[in-house]
């Protein structure tokens, strides 16, 4: 009976390859690899001589069709690996897994190394819910919009980033969530593994102060709890300031209120700003 094994491989330290994963790689009839050159190095280190074939983003659909046809005709044990970590998690493999499973062939996981879970485990955050976002957008405008959509979520957001773009990511995080807590891990399981923890701007400044930190792959854990409350406070303060400015220009309370709403302010926020000003500075408020 044919079976596809989804095998997690080391993300740095070769000692993280599990005995089960090594056995599966040795016993498989075929290993599908994201980059055969990378996987060949791993197999050589462990004396594995199983036949290798590439399966990456550009040929995955074609490979899946051919593999399904072959696995339906004969009994095959196939192992799917990525360059490092767990296949099909922000790496190629999901399309192949789906095609094989839909064809009625067993798909089994051989769990192991994962930068995502490793970074979460050393973050120190107690939240049990998290959202894995893979690699964020590269363009600044898209990145800022992407981060703004996370506001108000009471959970952790986890994402990967390369050393070339991690400063841009941290700059964007500081712009949207300047006071948010973050845990930024680099070189997970490797010789120079390091995790920076603290307020977003503190971690960003640490990166800027030491170019030596800008090496290796990064995994960011962003604590979103409370970020919406801070954002709403800032927006409310801004509405109050705009309302007060109009009043000082000579607008009546009604005129100022209508002007803000016409400019796009939400009615509820304008009324709350009015109540706040009545509470803290009633003498500044003109009649309706």
Position 229 pLDDT exceeds 50 = no
State the alpha helices, DSSP H only, in the chain. 19-27, 36-45, 60-73, 94-102, 115-121, 140-148, 166-176, 200-209, 227-248, 253-262, 267-280
Q: How far apart are the first and last CA of the chain?
A: 82
Read off the pLDDT of each residue in 7-25 and give the average, rounded to a whole number.
97
pLDDT in tens, 120-167: 999 999 998 999 999 999 998 999 999 988 887 778 999 999 999 999
Please report the pLDDT score of residue 231 as a whole number.
Answer: 52
Task: Show Cβ contacts of residue 16 under 8 Å, excluding neighbours closer than 6 positions.
Answer: 10, 112, 113, 189
Whether 231 contacts 267, CB under 8 Å: no
Q: Phi/psi at 219 (nearest 5 deg)? A: -130, 120
Closest to 114 (Cα-Cα) out of 150, 96, 77, 88: 88
The chain-wide mean pLDDT, for the chain, equals 90
Closest to 174 (Cα-Cα) out of 201, 206, 208: 201
As a whole number of angstroms, the distance between CA 220 and CA 223 comes to 10
- Where does the pLDDT of residue 17 fall: very low under 50, low under 70, confident under 90, or very high at 90 and above? very high
């Amino acid at each position: 009976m044919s079976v596809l094994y989804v095998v997690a491989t080391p993300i740095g330290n070769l000692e993280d390859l599990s005995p089960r994963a090594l056995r599966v790689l040795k016993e498989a009839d075929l290993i599908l690899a994201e980059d055969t050159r990378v996987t060949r190095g791993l197999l050589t280190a462990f004396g594995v001589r199983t036949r290798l074939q590439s399966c990456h983003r550009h040929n995955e659909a074609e490979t899946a069709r051919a593999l399904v046809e072959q696995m339906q005709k004969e009994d095959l044990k196939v192992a799917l690996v990525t360059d490092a970590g767990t296949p099909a998690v922000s790496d190629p493999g999901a399309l192949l897994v789906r095609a094989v499973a839909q064809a009625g062939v067993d798909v089994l996981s051989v769990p192991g190394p994962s930068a995502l879970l490793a970074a979460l485990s050393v973050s120190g955050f107690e939240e049990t819910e998290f959202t894995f976002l893979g690699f964020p957008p590269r363009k600044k405008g898209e990145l800022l919009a992407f981060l703004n959509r996370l506001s108000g979520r009471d959970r952790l957001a986890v994402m990967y980033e390369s050393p070339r773009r991690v400063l841009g990511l941290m700059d964007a995080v500081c712009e949207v969530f300047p006071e948010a807590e973050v845990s930024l891990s680099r070189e997970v399981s490797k010789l120079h593994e390091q995790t920076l923890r603290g307020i977003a701007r503190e971690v960003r400044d640490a990166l800027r102060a030491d170019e030596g930190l800008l090496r290796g792959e990064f995994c960011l854990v962003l604590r979103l709890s409370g970020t919406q409350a801070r954002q709403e406070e800032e927006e409310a303060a801004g509405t109050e300031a705009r309302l007060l400015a109009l009043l000082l220009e000579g607008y009546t309370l009604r005129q100022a209120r209508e002007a803000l709403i016409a400019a796009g302010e939400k009615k509820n926020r304008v009324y709350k700003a009015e109540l706040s000003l009545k509470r803290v500075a009633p003498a500044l408020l003109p009649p309706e």
